[in-house]
Amino acid sequence: MKITLKIWRQDSPKSKGKLETFHLDGVEDDMSFLEMLDMLNEQLATEGKRTVEFDHDCREGICGQCSLVINGQAHGHESHYTTCQTHMRSFKDGQTIFIEPFRAKAFPVIRDLKVDRSSMDRIIQAGGYISAFTGMAPEANSIPIHHNISESAFDSAACIGCGACIATCKNSSAALFMSAKVAHLAKLPQGQVERKERIAWMVNAHDEEGFGSCTHTGACAMVCPQEVELLDIARMNYEYNRALCSTN
Amino acid sequence: MALNAKIPEGPLKDKWQNFLDKTNIVNPANRKKIDIIVVGSGLSGGGAAATLAELGYNVKNFYFQDSARRAHSVAAQGGVNAAKNYKNDGDTIYRMFYDTIKGGDYRSREANVYRMAQLSVDLIDHMTAQGVPFGREYSGYLSNRSFGGVLVSRTFYARGQTGQQLLMATYQALMKQVKAGNLTEYRRHEVLDYVIVDGKARGVIVRDLITGKIERHSAHAVVLGTGGFGKIFYLSTLAMNSNGSATWRAHKKGAYFANPSWTQIHPTALPQAGEHQSKLTLMSESLRNDGRIWVPKKKDDQRLPGDIPSEDRDYYLERRYPAFGNLVPRDVASRAAKERMDAGHGVGSLKNAVYLDFKTAIGIHGKDTIKERYGNLFTMYKKITGIDAYKEPMKISPAAHFSMGGLWVDYELGTSIPGLYAVGEANFADHGANRLGANSLLQASVDGNFVLPNTISNYLSNEIRTGKIATDSPEFEEAEKAVKNQLKKLLAIKGTVPVDQIHRRLGKIMFKEVAMSRNEKGMKWAIDEIKKLRKEFWEHVAIPGDDQGSNSELEKAGRLADYLEIAELMTVDALDRKESCGAHFREEYQTEDGEAVRDDKNYMYSAAWEWQGGKDWKLHKEHLVFNDIEVKTRSYK
């Protein structure tokens, strides 16, 4: 099939960007979206033109490195997909596709479609861990954890840190991302000890990075590739209020 | 240099303890005087970096991804092995050692494998304490599943995202150390060369992948946790940016490369659909717990799989290997699939797949149980193929996956360059000629968290008086110049053939002749083709843009330049080994019914190759000694 691409080109973080138009012929149904971009880049390279920079790595939806806003939607129009899992069979012959980087104050553009998402790592650095140094752990079965609790902790821990929730949110809030980590650790007995400090430090880091506030529109949970629940944000708010009132 | 594996004294089960008892350690007060560079942020590199930082060393962690959480360990699905014997099914550390040595077809080092089995027990405790939500029984205790090549249930799992969950624990530990100021991260930085001063690894030359700037960094020791090079086949289960450059460039500075041709071809990946394809997605081996593999008995059977009755199906693994059935090791399963496909029984439009069928399991356990066990894999399958595998069988096919070979290391994980260490898939140590499923996460984590931090101190204890390593020495100067020259040379080619196109062609040569089945004639042809392709690359590759900023084509070209050399050594290694063992199947050496024939008399060694400045390689043999296991013909019948 034939498609027209309107792709965001921006040379460096400080330069001004603009949409550039490309035409591709011979796109196949079973190409993934990123393979379609590979095809474009091979064409550009043959012509000696600078290729389109985009982030990607595992191409199976788990590393969280691919991003892109496709026709206005983070990771494209398929709910709960990553960009790398999106295939061209879901586009039409002759269609025009707009491709832009994830946009947020805390995600400065590096070049073209590549953005800097280190702000998300700094939220985790603030408290998104359990301080169990190597060598100090008790026998794994010494603390039984109910099947359902472990499964529920997994649901939150499944977050791939792609940032689609933030790119989708009208306030560029990282609430869903942050709450997934808070909920993962708060659900498990191992996460109890540092519970109070964790939430306070992470929320502070979130605000310092320039992420916006959560107004519960739920758009984040609609795009999340791992289907992290909106309920995790409520769990996070509970943790926050609990920390304010509790002594430990 | 003669190879010294530095295996500690004493009975097998006491070797690690004996090592720990006698090794030199560094006074906590002196650790701050010591800088360590760790390359890679996955389970091995990230685990080592976090643990060394916890211990109080100054750690600099380099990786090319945009976040430490993206390292390719993230993609491992099925699980991690540990000899906990929670199932009371007779598992022991010795049995795990036995299974791993046998699975590797008696081509790995006894002492290393035994240590890995011993430490597996601690690893599960450690990861649980870090908050890994492993699968659990309703009683609240940890659950297990089985993987190929074993008769017990010793695999711990977090649904089909075990690698992701272990990596998150490792990443979180790393992030904590960043905040604490013990560890400096250099994200989007690629190591392009090493600096050797007075015979010791003293630093790296890196490129900042955002600004394009070339930087010098020094340290008292350098640790590589940079993974495998299976992406050499272009089509593989690896991430697009996974590469062999970090280990290869160390090889060219003097580190021996061991058993480079031993690549695991994973039997259950998604088949190639077309020429444009960039990646073959893995479907976890755990699926073989409940899935049955078959092909139609009739060639070119046009019926839909559901319309083919049982008597017209060939469950070829159950037929050929009744004892292990669908759970034979990966090399055996891949070869058996290839044999059926070559005989004309492949399914799918390109006849390049076999069926993996869950109908029997859904009938016994119900759809909900299967969904809970493998839900994310079925979802992933549907996203990519558009097919619902609860209703019809998956189509799967063998794909390049794991490098058993890697930098040669001794028991302390030191390479043949003093001060340069290799952990996880980057080294060659524990898997012999074939890796068992769920031993990869294990080896990477154990190397990074438990082994390296204890062995590297033996070396570092001599470094407490060294002081900071200067980066203005002639050695740094020279290494930086070489890196800059190579970039300049690449950019000056200005050809018209895209990097990926050459990479695809290299992949085809390698998959045809240096993968599941090898013969002398084919490999000699492959060497000629690789050399031709290398020439074409250096004359005609298209690398637009410059080195002043992010340039993916330039990054890929540098890695491909290395692959074009690695490919030759892989082939040289495979040609040298005139026997079949594990994943290395030489057509000249097989039984009448197509099973591998080892030659223990002549080839019971690990082949460690020394770079000779680009002209041939020098072979060093590490002869393998088996005192605690009877060396037998590997059979899964």
B25 to chain A, closest Cα gap in Å: 16
Cα B112 to the chain's mean position, in Å?
Answer: 16
Contact list, A53 vs chain B (CB under 8 Å): 550-552
pLDDT in tens, B310-323: 999 999 999 999 99
- Distance CA(B363)–CA(A167), nearest Å, equals 43
Among partner residues B70, B126, B278, which is closest to A38 by beta-carbon distance? B278
Average pLDDT over residues A40-54: 97
Cα B31 to the chain's mean position, in Å?
Answer: 31
Q: Which residues of B belong to the active site? A: 330
Taking the alpha carbons of B384, A80, A99, B560 in that order, is the dihedral positive or negative? negative
> Do A100 and A135 sit in the same domain of this protein?
no
Reference B186, options B315, B333, B62; nearest CA is B62
Contact list, B161 vs chain A (CB under 8 Å): 62, 154, 158
Contact list, A110 vs chain B (CB under 8 Å): 210, 550
Look at the domain B32-265+402-460 and name its fold.
FAD/NAD(P)-binding domain (3.50.50)
Residues 6+ apart with CB under 8 A from A23: A2, A3, A4, A5
> Do A191 and A159 sit in the same domain of this protein?
yes
**Interfacial B residues in 126-165 facing A (CB < 8 Å):** 126, 128-131, 133-142, 158-159, 161, 164-165
Contact list, B178 vs chain A (CB under 8 Å): 125
Among partner residues A44, A110, A140, which is closest to B124 by beta-carbon distance? A140
Q: Residue B614, exposed/middle/buried by CB under 10 A (0-12, 13-18, 19+)?
A: exposed
Question: Chain B interface, mutation test: which of A34, A129, A162, most B Cβ atoms within 10 Å?
Answer: A129
Q: Residue B211, exposed/middle/buried by CB under 10 A (0-12, 13-18, 19+)?
A: middle
Question: Is the pLDDT confidence value at B185 over 90?
Answer: yes
Question: Chain B interface, mutation test: which of A120, A123, A134, A162, most B Cβ atoms within 10 Å?
Answer: A134
- Closest chain B residue to A138 measured between Cα atoms? B125
- Distance CA(B321)–CA(A138), nearest Å, equals 40
Amino acid at residue number A233 = I
Among partner residues A42, A60, A64, which is closest to B500 by beta-carbon distance? A42
pLDDT at residue A248 in the model: 64
Which tokens belong to A150? 């472990």
Q: How many CB atoms lie within 10 A of CB B505?
A: 18
pTM above 0.95, yes or no: yes
A166 to chain B, closest Cα gap in Å: 16
Which tokens belong to B391? 């209703």
At residue A157, the 3 state secondary structure works out as helix
A13 to chain B, closest Cα gap in Å: 10
Inform me whether the C-beta atom of residue B299 falls under 8 Å from chain A C-beta atoms.
Answer: no
- Distance CA(B535)–CA(B589), nearest Å, equals 33
Point out the domain boundary residue: A82, A111, A140: A111
- Closest chain A residue to B64 measured between Cα atoms? A57
Specify the number of domains making up chain A. 2
Contact present, B81 and B289 (Cβ < 8 Å): no
- Closest chain A residue to B137 measured between Cα atoms? A147
Q: How many CB atoms lie within 10 A of CB B615?
A: 6
**Interfacial B residues in 213-242 facing A (CB < 8 Å):** 239-241
Question: Tokens 């080592």 appear where?
Answer: B48
B62 to chain A, closest Cα gap in Å: 15
CB–CB of B552 and A45 under 8 A?
no
Whole-number mean pLDDT of chain B? 96
**Interfacial B residues in 315-354 facing A (CB < 8 Å):** none
Contact present, B495 and B553 (Cβ < 8 Å): no
B358 phi/psi in degrees, rounded to 5? -105, 5
The residues with which B294 forms a beta bridge, in sequence order, are B355
> Do A104 and A121 sit in the same domain of this protein?
no
pLDDT in tens, A180-206: 999 999 999 999 999 999 999 999 999
Average pLDDT over residues A54-76: 97
pLDDT in tens, B348-378: 989 999 999 999 999 999 999 999 888 888 9
Question: Tokens 């697009």 appear where?
Answer: B240
Beta strand pairing call for B605-611 and B617-623: antiparallel
CB–CB of A63 and B141 under 8 A?
no
Average pLDDT over residues B615-635: 95
Q: 3-state SS string over B434-462?
A: CCCCCCHHHHHHHHHHHHHHHHHHHHHCC
Reference A166, options A201, A122, A222, A211; nearest CA is A211
Domain B474-594 maps to which CATH number in 3.30.1180.20, 3.30.2350.10, 1.10.645.10, 1.20.58.100? 1.20.58.100
DSSP structure string for B471-484:
S-SHHHHHHHHHHH
Which tokens belong to B512? 């045809």
> Do A222 and A103 sit in the same domain of this protein?
no
Contact list, A133 vs chain B (CB under 8 Å): 54
Question: Is the pLDDT confidence value at B285 over 90?
Answer: no
A213 to chain B, closest Cα gap in Å: 24
Contact present, B43 and B448 (Cβ < 8 Å): yes
pLDDT at residue B374 in the model: 86
CB–CB of A146 and B138 under 8 A?
yes
Among partner residues B140, B282, B383, which is closest to A146 by beta-carbon distance? B140
> Do A210 and A100 sit in the same domain of this protein?
no
> Do A219 and A166 sit in the same domain of this protein?
yes
Confidence of residue B384 (pLDDT cuts 50, 70, 90): confident
pLDDT at residue B376 in the model: 82
pLDDT at residue B615 in the model: 86
CB–CB of A58 and B165 under 8 A?
no
Amino acid at residue number B425 = E
Point out the domain boundary residue: A111, A130, A155: A111
Contact present, B399 and B266 (Cβ < 8 Å): yes
- Distance CA(B201)–CA(B418), nearest Å, equals 6
Point out the domain boundary residue: A94, A111, A128: A111
Domain range spanning residue A132? 117-245
pLDDT in tens, B341-352: 999 999 998 999
Contact present, B245 and B201 (Cβ < 8 Å): no
Q: Cα separations (Å) of B137 from A146, B130, B145, B159?
A: 8, 19, 12, 13
B410 phi/psi in degrees, rounded to 5? -85, -175
Contact present, B439 and B100 (Cβ < 8 Å): yes
pLDDT in tens, B18-76: 999 999 999 999 999 999 999 999 999 999 999 999 999 999 999 999 999 999 999 99
> Do A89 and A23 sit in the same domain of this protein?
yes
pLDDT in tens, B415-450: 999 999 999 999 998 999 999 999 999 999 999 999
CATH code at A65? 3.10.20.30
> Do A122 and A163 sit in the same domain of this protein?
yes
B165/B274: higher pLDDT? B165
CB–CB of A30 and B68 under 8 A?
no
pLDDT in tens, B194-235: 999 999 999 999 999 999 999 999 999 999 999 999 999 999
Among partner residues A53, A117, A135, which is closest to B66 by beta-carbon distance? A117
Rounded to whole angstroms, the maximal C-alpha distance in chain B is 75
Which tokens belong to A88? 């061209």
Look at the domain B267-400 and name its fold.
Flavocytochrome C3; Chain A, domain 1 (3.90.700)
pLDDT at residue B284 in the model: 85
- Closest chain B residue to A78 measured between Cα atoms? B383
Which tokens belong to B272? 């190639």
- Distance CA(A46)–CA(B542), nearest Å, equals 6
- Distance CA(B381)–CA(B375), nearest Å, equals 10
Residues 6+ apart with CB under 8 A from B606: B107, B109, B258, B259, B408, B428, B621, B622, B624
Inform me whether the C-beta atom of residue B543 falls under 8 Å from chain A C-beta atoms.
Answer: yes
pLDDT at residue B515 in the model: 97
A225 to chain B, closest Cα gap in Å: 11
CB–CB of A59 and B499 under 8 A?
no
Which tokens belong to B238? 């690896």
A3 phi/psi in degrees, rounded to 5? -140, 155
Question: Is the pLDDT confidence value at A5 over 90?
Answer: yes
CATH code at A232? 1.10.1060.10
B630 phi/psi in degrees, rounded to 5? -80, 125
pLDDT at residue A135 in the model: 87
A134 to chain B, closest Cα gap in Å: 7
Cα A114 to the chain's mean position, in Å?
Answer: 13
pLDDT at residue B430 in the model: 96
Question: Tokens 């020495």 appear where?
Answer: B473
Contact present, B106 and B91 (Cβ < 8 Å): no
Interface A:B, Cβ pairs < 8 A: 226
> Do A132 and A223 sit in the same domain of this protein?
yes
Among partner residues B50, B125, B542, which is closest to A140 by beta-carbon distance? B125
Q: Which of A186-190, B270-274, B329-333 has the highest mean pLDDT?
A: A186-190
> Do A77 and A187 sit in the same domain of this protein?
no
pLDDT at residue B380 in the model: 87
- Closest chain A residue to B446 measured between Cα atoms? A134
Beta strand pairing call for A96-100 and A3-9: parallel
At residue B578, the 3 state secondary structure works out as coil
> Crossing angle for the helix pair A33-46 and B552-576, nearest 10 degrees?
100
Q: Which value, to the nearest 10 degrees, does the dihedral of the CA atoms of residues A73, A75, A77, A79 take? A: -110
Which tokens belong to A147? 């099947």
- Distance CA(B137)–CA(B156), nearest Å, equals 12
Average pLDDT over residues A8-22: 96
A174 to chain B, closest Cα gap in Å: 16
What is the DSSP secondary structure assignment for residue B398, as one 8-state letter? E
pLDDT in tens, B470-524: 999 999 999 999 999 999 999 999 999 999 999 999 999 999 999 999 999 999 9
Residues 6+ apart with CB under 8 A from A245: none
Q: Cα separations (Å) of B399 from A13, B271, B330, B423, B515?
A: 39, 8, 11, 24, 9
Contact list, A224 vs chain B (CB under 8 Å): none
Confidence of residue B1 (pLDDT cuts 50, 70, 90): low
- Distance CA(B555)–CA(A106), nearest Å, equals 26
pLDDT at residue B388 in the model: 95
CB–CB of A137 and B128 under 8 A?
yes
Contact list, B122 vs chain A (CB under 8 Å): 135, 137
Domain boundaries, chain B: 32-265+402-460, 267-400, 474-594
